[in-house]
Structure 1
Amino acid sequence: MLQGIREMGLHAMDIYDYLVGGFDPRLKDYVLMQSPIHMSTILLCYLFFVLYLGPRLMANRKPFQLKEAMIVYNFLLVALSIFIVYEFMMSGWVTTYNWRCDPVDTSNSPEALRMVRVAWLFWFSKIIELMDTIFFVLRKKHGQITFLHIFHHSFMPWTWWWGICYAPGGMGSFHAMVNSSVHIIMYFYYFLAAAGPRFQKFLWWKKYMTAIQLIQFVLVSLHATQYYFMDSCDYQFPMILHLIWIYGTFFFVLFSNFWIQAYVKGKRLPKQDIKQSQNGSAVHSNGKHHENGKGTNYGASNGTNSSAHHENGSAHVSKMKKA
């Protein structure tokens, strides 16, 4: 038995050496790129904190406000996303790429090295964005820590680490550029939301932000789909394109479900969205939405307590019946 375990261990090491041996040597001096162990450890610690340790630590504590920290954090991510999009464009997407079959430039030319740098920076921005969930935990916004949120924040940096190890650039980097473009809009929204109530009137476009996310996944999947209809393409890592297509399609389904639940069925609308009537004639009282004489209960999101609203509304109706 010991011999069998030893042989399995040696076989696993051979697979590991094979995988690591194919890494792009231009990334060897970048932070956290020497081994997948460091990156995986960070993500496991993230999952442990947001799913177990964080909620237990905050169970008997008041939520932190963190207003100033969130304003700075979101502003910096807007600036970082703008820089990443610019670097992707100047590294090939508006200079030498044809937006169809673009192989990875494996040379040490200034443009190729620039693409390597921005590919790593995009991946590292995903590590920074883990703070999104940390803020939710510390502010006790448990309603926002959904499966979609956690899966997206943990799965994407893990897969992209392997992606840039083998293919830092080429047509596989299209979705990174598109994703960073969307994050400019998304974190600008979060920046305004964190700035306080006086900016709430500028947040009417939240619904359209979800639509932009859906458009992102359509563009990513369509761009990857080109590969299957080309007579020939010398992109070196087609497996990455297969994963990108699956990723874009899978997240399109998840975000579409979110759209339906939030904006069609109204189950996840926050209070400020509930207060925006479709025809401007809605009246709100005790957590209920009255439109044309009909009341509809909406589940809360963003950490609001829908049950409290329901109880207030029920108590009000009960008192009216007694009267």
Structure 2
Amino acid sequence: MASAWRRVADAYQRIVDNGDKRTDPWPLVYSPIPVTVIFLVYLCGIWVGPHLMKHRKPVDLRVFLIIYNFAMVGLSAYMFYEFLVTSWLSSYSLLCQPVDYSTSPLALRMARVCWWFFFSKVIELSDTVFFILRKKNNQVTFLHVYHHATMIFNWWAGVKYVAGGQSFFIGLVNTFVHIVMYSYYGLAAIGPHMQKYLWWKKYLTSLQLLQFLLFLLHTGHNLFTECDYPDSMNVVVFGYCVTLIILFSNFYYQSYLSKKK
């Protein structure tokens, strides 16, 4: 038993000691414990929340959701700008870009936007809370929970070990998709009379699928070429994208193709 605990302690020490020294002092980065606690609280909330709301009326969050969703549009736009401009000024390559671990202004600027991208994934866990408070439990699907819960770990690892380099491509594309996505949610929150302007939901799902396909091709290319970027990260992203393509394709089929039949 003691040896097992020793191995766990050694593994934990390796995790915290081998990170990017620039990002280690930043909130939630140094140790995996804070993000794990957030994950466990999130799962508990998903289990407890519907029971607490069972005999209560749905909470009216309309005004709050309008503000929240358009604030997320603003945050996504800021991150998209930072990813785009910083990678451009740093002459990043789309095909192979090692991480710059220096403390140069541009390297730190890229690391900072990677942190904001990670933190935005923590904020986005609120999406699930809002569904539960509004008693929209049918929206809390396996796809929804899996995507939200796993992204915080993926991007914690990204900021902890590879804050920059190839990581920028995922942040750049995903923030663009989230500008579109939260714009849709913000408009939908205004009221039912907006539905006639929201005919493009199917295309939003298509856009989400397209981004995962781009990530798959991007990381797949780097797995089979020489590039000074950790293959372990590419393998994780590649496998993760496969799962998301399967889940989102199923969602697309169930939502748009199956209903037509």
Provide the TM-score with structure 1 as the length reference.
Answer: 0.78
Q: Is the 8 A contact 2:62 2:189 kept in 1?
A: yes
Q: How does 1:19-38 map to 2 (within 5 A)?
A: 19-38=15-34
Deviations 1:64-93 (A, max 9, x none): 120011001001000000001111112215
Selected match of 1:261 from 231, 254, 259? 254
Selected match of 1:188 from 178, 183, 186? 183
Percentage of matched positions with identical amino acids: 46
- Partner SS for 2:156: helix
Please say if 1:60 is aligned against 2:55.
Answer: yes
Selected match of 1:233 from 217, 227, 237? 227
- Partner SS for 1:26: coil
Structure-1 separation of matches of 2:135 and 2:179 = 25
Structure-1 separation of matches of 2:72 and 2:184 = 11
Q: How does 1:202-221 map to 2 (within 5 A)?
A: 202-221=197-216
Show the counterpart of 1:104.
99
Task: Give the letter aligned to residue 58 of structure 2.
Answer: P
Deviations 1:248-280 (A, max 9, x none): 1211111011111111111xxxxxxxxxxx9xx
Q: Is the 8 A contact 1:89 1:95 kept in 2?
A: no
Structure 1 residue 29, shift from structure 2 partner: 2.3
Q: Is the 8 A contact 1:116 1:168 kept in 2?
A: yes
Show the counterpart of 2:4.
8
Q: How does 1:66-215 map to 2 (within 5 A)?
A: 66-93=61-88, 95-215=90-210
Selected match of 1:41 from 37, 60, 71? 37
Q: Is the 8 A contact 1:67 1:195 kept in 2?
A: yes
Structure-2 separation of matches of 1:183 and 1:160 = 16
Q: How does 1:265-276 map to 2 (within 5 A)?
A: 265-266=258-259
TM-align CA RMSD: 1.4
Task: Give the letter aligned to residue 170 of structure 2.
Answer: H
Q: Is the 8 A contact 2:86 2:109 kept in 1?
A: yes
Show the counterpart of 1:18.
14
Task: Give the letter aligned to residue 84 of structure 1.
Answer: M
Structure-1 separation of matches of 2:152 and 2:88 = 22
Runs of 4+ displaced beyond 4 Å: none
Structure-1 separation of matches of 2:86 and 2:248 = 30
Deviations 1:273-317 (A, max 9, x none): xxxxx9xxxxxxxxxxxxxxxxx8xxxxxxxxxxxxxxxxxxxxx
Q: 1:105 to 1:229 in 2, by over 3 A?
A: same
Q: Is the 8 A contact 1:27 1:33 kept in 2?
A: yes
Deviations 1:222-245 (A, max 9, x none): 111111342x2222x111111111
Structure-2 separation of matches of 1:102 and 1:262 = 38
Task: Give the letter aligned to residue 238 of structure 2.
Answer: W
More moved, 241-250 vs 139-148:
241-250
Segments of structure 2 that go 5 or more residues without pairing to the other structure are none
Segments of structure 1 that go 5 or more residues without pairing to the other structure are 267-277, 279-295, 297-323
Task: Give the letter aligned to residue 249 of structure 2.
Answer: S
Q: Is the 8 A contact 2:66 2:186 kept in 1?
A: yes
Task: Give the letter aligned to residue 40 of structure 1.
Answer: T
Structure 1 residue 94, shift from structure 2 partner: 6.0
Q: Is the 8 A contact 1:172 1:241 kept in 2?
A: no
Deviations 1:120-151 (A, max 9, x none): 00000000001100000000001100000000
Which structure shows the bigger proportion of residues in helix conformation? 2
Task: Give the letter aligned to residue 155 of structure 1.
Answer: T
Task: Give the letter aligned to residue 247 of structure 1.
Answer: Y
Show the counterpart of 1:248.
241
Equivalent pairs counted in the alignment come to 261
Show the counterpart of 1:303.
none
Deviations 1:148-181 (A, max 9, x none): 0000000111121012201001113311221111
